[in-house]
Structure 1
Amino acid sequence: MITVRELLAERLKSALDAAGFSDITPEVTPTADARFGDYQANAAMILAKQRRMNPRQVAAEIIQHLAVDDISAAPEIAGAGFINFRLLPQFLADRAQEIVKDDRLGVSDSRQPRRIVVDFSSPNVAKPMHVGHIRSTIIGDTLVRIARFLGHEVIADNHIGDWGTQFGKVIYGWKHFLNREELAANPIGTLVGLYRKVNAAEENDEALKKTVREELVKLQQGDAENFAIWQETVKLSWAEFEKIYGLLDIHFDAVLGESAYNDALAPLCERLEKDGIAEVSEGALCIFFRDIPELAEKPAIVRKADGGFLYATTDLATIEYRVKHWNPDAIWYVVGAPQALHFQQIFLAAQRMGVSAELKHIAFGSILGEDRKIMRTRAGESVGLDDVLNEAIERATAVVAEKNPDLPAEDRAAIARTIGLGAVKYTELSQHRMTDYVFSWEKMLSFQGNTAPYLQNAYVRIRSIFRKLEAPFDPASATISVNEDAERALAIKLGQFAEILPLVLEDFRPNLLANYLYELAITFHGFYEACPVLKSEEPVRSSRLALCDLTARILRHGLGLMGIQCPERM
């Protein structure tokens, strides 16, 4: 279904062509202030600047050729030359009627569907997932959900850190200090304990350091005992990760860690050197970017002087694998902002290797504690992600018990889980991804303001309307009318769901969807206060019920695209 923005842009383009301004592709956007209309275009201002003309005069010429009388009242010229559109009530009613009957809520598949690999979450084996994993995991999952809904083929790949120097310490600790009962009771905690114990012991013991390094070399060379320990470590770690992913309802199509590419690293380096992409410098194999000023002194090292490989090597091998096996149009990396230089280097190197897929680093900021520093425990350690999620559910349980003490325990637990997990996800997704934000329990679990509980409660309030009906209601059978200002505002906002989703992927900003849903809930509450629903006479009653139902469906689906469920009662 074509959106209102697209429809107005098409009509505007035809008018521009007819007026002799065919060298511009117009953009139409919602107005910031409803007093000046519903949508606006700044094409006249752009053209006037290019041609040194009066923008209001250009706008007047465009309007002479603009045929929108079936969509809008007569377009108006505002300010320095904006062309403003005020949608007709009947157009809005017909539009809402179409969306009510559409399973996709007015959202069309992308006109250019792509195959996209999304690399996100990526925890490290033998270490717990911590609060820092919230951003990559939740942003990545939301982008996957939205891209799939828009018709793209998506491969969600969890590139776990399952290979590296830490395994020498873990393996040595496993052989000398492992307590099997502790491992069974707390796998990740035990593995972390082994690592820390060996790490502390080798600080002043050069002989032990050498032995630990030898354990790592034996693993890298395929020693059967060390490989078996490594396999069990990976298996135990993934089992713990899966518990968290299960709680968050997050799924992956592939889980290919660093180890999957280990055998490809040496041949890759040989080819890079042979093809002149990399060169030896001070014993290390490096890829230089001398033609780029800011990178001229910052080469990507793919093989150290001692023959060891680095993240850059593994990431280039990973790109080669993905291109060969999945032939993607794009590969998106949802990884923190501190890795910006690394990905800039890797993407440039991949282009020199002949990779044509679009490579994007979807960066994000940090989660802060109330002291506005990186969120940590009192002991200075990263806060465990499982601790955060469990505390969210516990706090939500207390809130639900206070608001509805008569709920059966089973229902209370289910609702609290939905609210608690939704609160954590929405707090993340409602931020601009590059913003550092303070993690506040009080704010995220509030039923007021731009929070998940507020939106979930809005959905529940709407569904409660339908529980009061004496007979089932079929929204598709209603004839929608838009006469009151509040009805008009709601109909406009409902139609914008289809406009927002593609914008999310343009700059990878899930906060656009979150903000839209919040505005929709506010607009609905204004409608509900101004326009009686159940007490209205027919056919207005059915029309308003249909608008209520459509609002609930969009709230539910929009939150669902963010991995957030809606309870039927709260």
Structure 2
Amino acid sequence: MTLQQEIEVALSAAFEKVVGEKVSTPVVASADLRFGDYQSNAAMAQAKQRRTNPRALAQQVVDAIELGGIATTDIAGPGFINFKVTPEAFAKRARRQLDDPRLGVPSLGDGRRIVVDFSAPNVAKPMHVGHIRSTILGDSLARIAEFLGFEVIRDNHIGDWGTQFGMILHGWKTRLNHEALETDPIVELVRVYREVNAATKDDPATLDVCKAELVKLQAGDEENLAIWQQCIDLSKLGLQRIYDRLDVKFDYWLGESFYNERLPGLVDEFLEKELARVSDGAVCIFSSGELQDEQDPFRIHKEDGWQDNPAIIRKADGGFLYATTDLATVEYRIDEWKADEVWYVVGTPQQLHFRQLFDACARWGKDGEFHHIAFGSILGEDRKLMKTRSGDNVQLVDVLEEAVDRSAKVIAEKNPNLTEEEIREIAEVVGIGAVKFAELSQNRLTDYVFSWDRMLALQGDTAPYLQYSDVRIRSIFRKLDGDFQPAELQLGEDAEIHLARMLIRYGEVLPTILDDHRPNLLANYLLELARSFHSFFEACPVLKAEEDIRSSRLTLCALTSKVLRHGLGLLGIQCPDRM
């Protein structure tokens, strides 16, 4: 139980004594520490229901509350109840936290199973800067959910089927450079695809050949299936190198092709259950008529008023679409994996698609919680979508390489005694961490400007600042003679008390992240913790302090390092031993 929960339990018991029944007594962290550490407006809410004076009710509750010495109370304004935690309570909590493998974080999952669908690049295409958000957000949310006690299945739903393969097949047979394919398969496949795609625009006959190759693939032609499988295998190798560098892992890579055989039967089922109907030769899902037009994803407002906006699940020519595959994917995840929740970490432009998908699944009877974890775009310094000078998407591998190279230059300047190998090793951790934190410190729904200088700065809201904070702590322990033994905490200085306050809030902050799937809450907490540590370090000598105080402050330092490293680990960010 967190300190916040402990106060809430005591407040609930006091209210029950005063009003004679259990009532809601929410306790929140105070926005202004001058008024205490926590506060509750429960007296005001209950007084309004009972038509009584809120301050008088608050006083009765304060007189009845039993906090066991963990906090003092006062009443502010029209009836806010404020709680100021005692230094002794902070000291006991923080010391206990150091020995707790969960660092004071409660377990919430109760075995609930969550499928997290993230990253999902297309086969035979390089991952670009737009994949940063899905890949890094999804990985962090999966890590956090797992630590909070949920059973997490990570699924990389790659795009390994579709019209682009007609062009790739034709290009493979007529334009492929086999030496280049061995050297860098993704680059060569992209070159082939682009050349053929350009040719189809000038020559309708080439487009017809590509369509014919695709039809042969879909019909099970052995040669085309073999080439298609090679494309997938080569693409996965290239993608895996990037995922290894990012320390991102998946349990499954079930791409679109995995569900092909399920699609005809799924469409038949939707027709039989009258969840879809034929319209102009295509099979479409229309509105159920149960929602108002404004809330109905299958209705759209145009000049002539509200009109149908169906989702097509089989085209008039017999082809299937993303909607069909995504329905089959839901069926598999619910029926085979027994998922309780499915999270889709996909950009904001797909909002309508997922609203239609979730509505159709509810009507279909696929019980589960579905969440579209949407996100905005990454912008260049010009505040436009980040592109290369030629107008292409910036490749993710180039972003990572640039981040590491820039980090290496800074590290070499500050540490001239390090070897090239040591510099590169540290730069890999710092550069990759900087890219991840730049993403995870943002509200996921906002667009953000990608700035190298800001991202790699040792000061400010950056990963290097947090990593440097941990390196600074570890350097303290390197100066010790002998082993460190944690001690009981003695909190006398304001900076010590505030650092302990921030440390015990780790267990209060982490569970809130999943309320709206916002890793930036953890990123912001870690920044506040690091700032609290630096204030403590400047105000409170550690190694030069008297023995009992010295041991207490070293214990605070050890806990700070432990929480920083753990929190950064949940964001997928490592800490180097030195910088």
Q: Same fold (TM over 0.5)?
A: yes
Shift of 1:21: 7.0
After the TM superposition, which of the residue ranges 478-487 and 395-404 deviates more from structure 2? 478-487
1:552 aligned to 2:561?
A: yes
**Partner of residue 506 from structure 1, selected from 495, 510, 515:** 515
2:488 counterpart of 1:479: yes
Per the alignment, in what secondary structure is the counterpart of residue 405 of structure 1? coil
* Cα distance in 2 between the residues matched to 1:43 and 1:21: 15
Counterpart in 2 of 1:219? 217
Q: In terms of mean alpha carbon deviation, does 159-168 or 46-55 score higher? A: 46-55
Q: Give the Cα–Cα distance (whole angstroms) in 2 for the partners of residues 53 and 441 of structure 1.
A: 58
- Contact 1:130/1:385, CA 8 A, preserved across alignment: yes
Aligned to 1:541: 550
**Pair 1:318 & 2:329 matched:** yes
Which residue identity does 1:377 align to in structure 2?
A: T
Report deviation, 1:92: 1.1
CA apart distance, 1:209: 1.8
The 2-side partners of 1:450 and 1:55 are apart by: 41
Provide closer, same or farther for how the CA distance between residues 33 and 21 of structure 1 changes in structure 2, counting only shifts above 3 A: farther
| Partner of residue 148, structure 1 | 146
Partner of 1:205 in structure 2? 203
Match of 1:30 in 2: 29
1:67-146 maps to which residues of 2 (within 5 A)? 67-73=66-72, 75-110=73-108, 112-146=110-144
SS of the residue 2:248 aligns to: coil
Map 1:164-313; keep pairs closer than 5 Å.
164-289=162-287, 290-292=289-291, 293-294=293-294, 295=297, 296=299, 297-313=308-324
The alpha-carbon deviation at position 51 of structure 1 amounts to 4.3
Instruction: Return the alpha-carbon distance in structure 1 between the equivalents of residues 51 and 109 of structure 2.
Output: 36
Question: Residue 155 of structure 1: SS of its match in structure 2?
Answer: strand
Identity %: 57
Q: CA deviation at 1:61?
A: 2.9
Rounded Cα–Cα distance in structure 2 between residues aligned with 1:204 and 1:546: 71
Quote the Cα distance in structure 2 between the aligned partners of 1:22 and 1:534. Answer: 53
Judged with a 3 Å threshold, the aligned counterparts in structure 2 of structure 1 residues 284 and 61 are, in CA distance, closer, same or farther, namely: farther
Q: CA 1:32 to 1:21, structure 2 compared with 1: closer, same or farther past 3 Å?
A: farther
Range with greater deviation from structure 2 (424-433 or 47-56): 47-56
Choose from 490, 493, 517 the match for 2:502.
493
CA distance, structure 1, for counterparts of residue 111 and residue 336 of structure 2:
19
Asked if the contact 2:109/2:151 (under 8 Å) is kept, the reply is no
Q: CA deviation at 1:212?
A: 1.1
- Count the aligned residue pairs: 566
Residue 123 of structure 1 deviates from its aligned partner by 0.3
Matches within 5 A, 1:287-436: 287-289=285-287, 290-292=289-291, 293-294=293-294, 295=297, 296=299, 297-436=308-447
CA contact (8 A) 2:455 2:462 kept: yes
Deviations 1:410-449 (A, max 9, x none): 2111111110000000000000100100000000000001
Distance 2:457 2:165 in 1: 43
The CA deviation at 1:113 is: 3.5
Asked whether the 8 Å contact 1:13–1:22 carries over to 2, the reply is no
Measured in 2, the distance between the counterparts of 1:344 and 1:384 equals: 30
Q: 1:28 to 1:369 in 2, by over 3 A?
A: same
How far apart, CA to CA, are the structure 2 residues paired with 1:21 and 1:128? Answer: 65
Q: CA deviation at 1:49?
A: 4.0
What is the deviation of 1:66? Answer: 1.6
Give the secondary-structure state (helix, strand or coil) at the position aligned to 1:479. Answer: coil
Please state if 1:518 is matched with 2:527. Answer: yes
Deviating more after overlay: 100-109 vs 357-366: 100-109
1:45 corresponding residue in structure 2: 44
Amino acid at match of 1:56: R
Q: 1:566 matched to which residue of 2? A: 575
Counterpart-to-counterpart distance in 2, 1:413 and 1:193 = 31
Question: Which letter does structure 1 place at the counterpart of 2:133?
Answer: R
Deviates more, 1:452-461 or 1:88-97: 88-97
Secondary structure of 2:547's match? coil
Structure-2-length-normalised TM-score: 0.96
Q: Deviations over 1:71-102 (max 9, x none)?
A: 101x1112332211000111111111111111
Residues 445, 10 of structure 1: CA spacing in aligned structure 2 closer, same or farther, 3 A cutoff?
Answer: same
Which letter maps to 2:552? S
Q: Counterparts of 1:79 and 1:439 in 2: how far apart (Å)? A: 44
Instruction: Report which stretch shifted further, 499-508 or 22-31.
Output: 22-31
Distance 1:456 1:337 in 2: 31
Structure 2 CA distance for aligned equivalents of residues 174 and 187 of structure 1: 12
Does the 8 A contact of 2:342 with 2:371 survive in 1? yes
2:346 partner amino acid: V
Q: What SS does the aligned partner of 1:118 have?
A: strand
Distance 2:508 2:64 in 1: 26
User: 1:536, CA displacement in angstroms?
Assistant: 1.1
Q: 1:470 aligns with which of 463, 472, 481?
A: 481
Alignment gaps of 5+ in structure 2: 300-307
Measured in 2, the distance between the counterparts of 1:123 and 1:209 equals 25
Tell me which moved more, 55-64 or 329-338: 55-64
Q: Let me know the Cα RMSD of the aligned residues.
A: 1.3
Q: Which stretch shows the higher mean deviation, 282-291 or 435-444?
A: 282-291
Q: Which residue of 2 aligns with 1:4?
A: 3
Question: Residue 459 of structure 2 aligns with which residue?
Answer: 448
Partners of 2:379 and 2:42 lie apart in 1 by: 42
Per-residue deviation, 1:305: 1.3
Partner Cα separation in structure 2 for residue 121 and residue 291 of structure 1: 34
Does the Cα contact within 8 Å between 2:109 and 2:150 map onto a contact in 1? Answer: no
TM-superposed CA distance for 1:200, in Å, is 1.4
Matched letter for residue 381 of structure 1: D
**1:108 Cα deviation after fit:** 2.4
